[in-house]
Structure 1
Amino acid sequence: NFTALAKDTLLAVPVLIWIALIVAVCFWFLYNKTRHGKYMYAIGGNEAAAEVAGVNVNATKIRIYILASCMFGLAGCLLAAKSGGASVNTAQGYELDAIAACTIGGVSTTGGVGTVPGVLVGVLVFELMKVALQFMNVNSSYTYIVQGLVIIVAVAIDIRKYLAKK
């Protein structure tokens, strides 16, 4: 039953896609329609300014870390269901993929900038690039090099935008 979660479809769309869309809608609502979402953007933009504005920074950070840990757990369960099991090294290197996909999607590494739809577009572009490299039968070592270059370019563009604002 556990691995069927990753194999089943609903209305001809994989259940994993439905779960991703539900999570995306929930996070869009959280970030755009709740006080906690505004506090997260404020802390990401300038922590000291958010504190002066009356945001309880420590409590908000704790809620952010709790929410992140819940999402890490969900992602781990879904990945285990997709791969049929899990080990210590199952998702090794995924943190760089997440950073790259978010940066491609417009999330700033300096904080306070980004949208949920942007992250979804970034994930789609990054995954499409990885799948395209696999279909072109590119050696996996070169795939990692291309991914690294994409990360470097995305972060460099983000830093350039940040410095241009200053």
Structure 2
Amino acid sequence: MKRKHNIGYYLIKYKVFLIFAVLFIVMAVTSDFFLTKANLFNMLRQLSINGLLAVGMTFVLITGGIDLSIGAVLTFSAMVGCSFIRNDSPYPVIVCILVTIAIGITIGFINGVVIAKGNVPAFIVTLGTQLMASGGALLFNNGSPIPGLKDSYNTIGAGNILGIPLPIIIFLVVLLVGVLILKRTRFGRYTYAVGGNNLAAEACGINAAVVKIKVYVIAGLCAAIAGIVLSSRVKTATPLAGDGYELDAIAAVVLGGTSLSGGVGSMWGTVVGVLIIGLLNNGMDLLNVQSYFQDIIQGLIIVLAVFIDVNTNKKQR
């Protein structure tokens, strides 16, 4: 016999979709420019950065961890990578891309090893690497940006394929890979198992430490890709480019239904969370909301998302 659910059940289950729909309608009504093709593509370009970071963060949060370093990893990896492709540099673009990705993966690996093997709380480890990567980005070029990047590199952030901006395509490709890994691979199942009950997962023969290391490597990789997209879009690498991006990513993933307690979450929910954050940022810019108020509103969203997550988990116990 099928269990009947009341309307409250469906409102809670699909709350993130309802929030997005309401925000979209409000913005469409209050701003004449919102529904224009130029603005929608601009919004999607901007949210692609947060989307890339959120894909990696989804893996981390599902295991019950957290990564506060991704914004700084984005910055530091892009700063070092872009030093290889200034206009006067003899190196091809692929060198910059490989160096940037290698740095992101390396920092992610270090995070994962210290957390999984050293049994150090993820909050402390990633806060430490955030500070080190931020300091490294400032130290690398004496606090100055790296401008004058090759046009072939800038095409990554400014180019189009069949009228679709490349940053959006890159985000969608990374997203689909993330979906396939979570839903269609053994590693994806292990990720949920470790987040749901670490001890039970190990009792079933799952190497929880290896799983945790891999998810932080994925987060570092996604941060590096985001660094490539962002620096190529603005045609320069700056030592403060990634400041605050980790908070947007966490907010998007939690809004999308991924639990901070681990074991619960989906990549599609993360997409909707990314869209909500992008919609809010774009909408507040269109309505000329001061940046100070934007920070306050985003902070409230993070607190509200965590509040809903905690209380939803209590009801399910």
Normalising by structure 2, we get a TM-score of 0.51
CA distance in 2, matches of 1:84, 1:125: 27
Contact 2:252 2:270 in 1 (8 A): yes
Question: Are 1:57 and 2:57 counterparts?
Answer: no
CA distance in 1, matches of 2:299, 2:226: 23
The secondary structure found in structure 2 opposite 1:110 is coil
Which residue number in structure 2 is paired with residue 72 of structure 1? 223
Which residue number in structure 2 is paired with residue 109 of structure 1? 260
Moved over 6 A (4+): none
Which residue number in structure 2 is paired with residue 23 of structure 1? 174
**1:120-131 correspondence to structure 2 within 5 Å:** 120-131=271-282
The secondary structure found in structure 2 opposite 1:89 is coil
TM-aligned CA deviation for residue 17 of structure 1: 0.6
The secondary structure found in structure 1 opposite 2:230 is helix
Comparing both chains, which one has the higher relative contact order based on Cα–Cα distances under 8 Å and sequence gaps of 6 or more?
A: 2
Which residue number in structure 2 is paired with residue 39 of structure 1? 190
Question: Are 1:148 and 2:304 counterparts?
Answer: no
Normalising by structure 1, we get a TM-score of 0.96
CA distance in 1, matches of 2:232, 2:207: 38
Question: Are 1:134 and 2:308 counterparts?
Answer: no
The secondary structure found in structure 2 opposite 1:3 is helix
Higher deviation after alignment, 85-94 or 142-151: 85-94
- Structure (1 or 2) with the larger CA radius of gyration: 2
CA distance in 1, matches of 2:258, 2:251: 10
Question: Are 1:87 and 2:238 counterparts?
Answer: yes
Which residue number in structure 1 is paired with residue 162 of structure 2? 11
The secondary structure found in structure 2 opposite 1:131 is helix
Percent sequence identity over aligned pairs:
37
Which residue number in structure 1 is paired with residue 316 of structure 2? 165
Contact 2:154 2:232 in 1 (8 A): yes
Higher deviation after alignment, 68-77 or 127-136: 68-77
Which residue number in structure 2 is paired with residue 100 of structure 1? 251
For structure 1, the 5+ residue unaligned runs are none
Q: RMSD over aligned Cα, in angstroms?
A: 1.0
TM-aligned CA deviation for residue 163 of structure 1: 1.2
For structure 2, the 5+ residue unaligned runs are 1-151
TM-aligned CA deviation for residue 88 of structure 1: 2.2
CA distance in 2, matches of 1:62, 1:148: 29
Q: Which amino acid aligns with 1:68?
A: A
